[in-house]
Amino acid sequence: MSDSYRIEREHMVENQLKKRGIRNSRLLEAFRKVPRHQFLPRNLRGKAYTDGPSPIGEGQTISQPYMTAIMTQSAEVVPGDRVLEIGTGSGYQSAILAELGAEVYTIERIPELLEQARETLRQLHYDKVHTRMGNGTLGWEEEAPFDIILITAGAPEIPGPLLEQLAIRGRLVIPLEEGYSQVLYVVRRSQKGFHQERGERCTFVPLIGEYGWKKDPRTR
Ligand code: SAM
């Protein structure tokens, strides 16, 4: 497949990821490989490798590349991990996880976005990504437990059903509301219970649903 964006992708890896301390070589290789532009609407593809989030329609965004990287790095993915992602969006994060050898289960609440993401993932042959339409705050009970749960939308608190579906030794990564933006938290589960670590500040679109925001806080 000819890929005229390869050089832009290399700049993204060097300037946005490596310079900010992303060092994991497998992770950097995944970012070199996944054609991020193909996850964007056609008219925005020219800006696919800029240093920020981009609109994907329906008031939603594909996250900033660095934010996708830091979430993935925090999750410590190893090949064969079963990963639940809440917020499929464009499907880009799912593709990165699949490149790292994960079996991915991803849920999106907006049908139009899910349909587009499914089509992109199909065209790029990401067969290890399983998609579902619905309210991700309830998790995917039939496929639990998961080694990793990534919530790619900002939540007021950690949804209880997701904690229940996390395996022992599992990692859950979530942006939680704190003041005027959010903070990325990593929650680890052990035999003894849950241990929570506070990470960096971030800004995500809201997690909407029974165990998230009851309605979109941006329209209050
Ligand atoms: N991971 C995505 C990517 O790589 O393009 C970006 C996700 S975007 C920042 C957040 C997504 O979460 C939006 O598409 C939004 O519709 C979705 N979302 C919000 N609440 C949700 C819920 N309860 N269940 C599933 N998806 C949800």
Return the pLDDT at 115: 98
Q: What separation in Å is there between the alpha carbon of 191 and the centre of ligand 1?
A: 30
- Domain assignment of residue 26, yes or no: no
User: Per-residue pLDDT averaged across 52-56, rounded?
Assistant: 95
Total domain count for the chain?
1
Confidence of residue 97 (pLDDT cuts 50, 70, 90): very high
Q: Is the pLDDT of residue 218 over 90?
A: no
Q: What is the pLDDT of residues 21-48, one digit of tens each?
A: 999 999 999 999 999 999 999 999 999 9
What CATH number does the domain containing 133 carry?
Answer: 3.40.50.150
Average pLDDT of the chain is 96
Q: Is the pLDDT of residue 77 over 70?
A: yes
Return the pLDDT at 220: 59
Return the pLDDT at 4: 83
**Does the reported pTM lie above 0.85?**
yes
Q: Pick the catalytic residue from 2, 4, 63, 94.
A: 63
- Domain assignment of residue 64, yes or no: yes
The verdict on the CB of residue 109 being under 6 Å from ligand 1 is yes
Residue to substitute in 40, 60, 66 for testing ligand 1 pocket (most ligand atoms within 8 angstroms of CB): 60
- Domain span at 86: 53-219
- Domain assignment of residue 153, yes or no: yes
- Domain assignment of residue 5, yes or no: no
Is residue 2 annotated as a catalytic residue, yes or no? no
Q: What is the pLDDT of residues 170-204, one digit of tens each?
A: 999 999 999 888 999 999 999 999 999 999 999 99
- Domain assignment of residue 11, yes or no: no
Virtual torsion, Cα 56, 20, 105, 41, nearest 10 deg: 20
Q: What are phi and psi of 95, to 5 degrees?
A: -65, -40
Q: Is the pLDDT of residue 1 over 60?
A: no
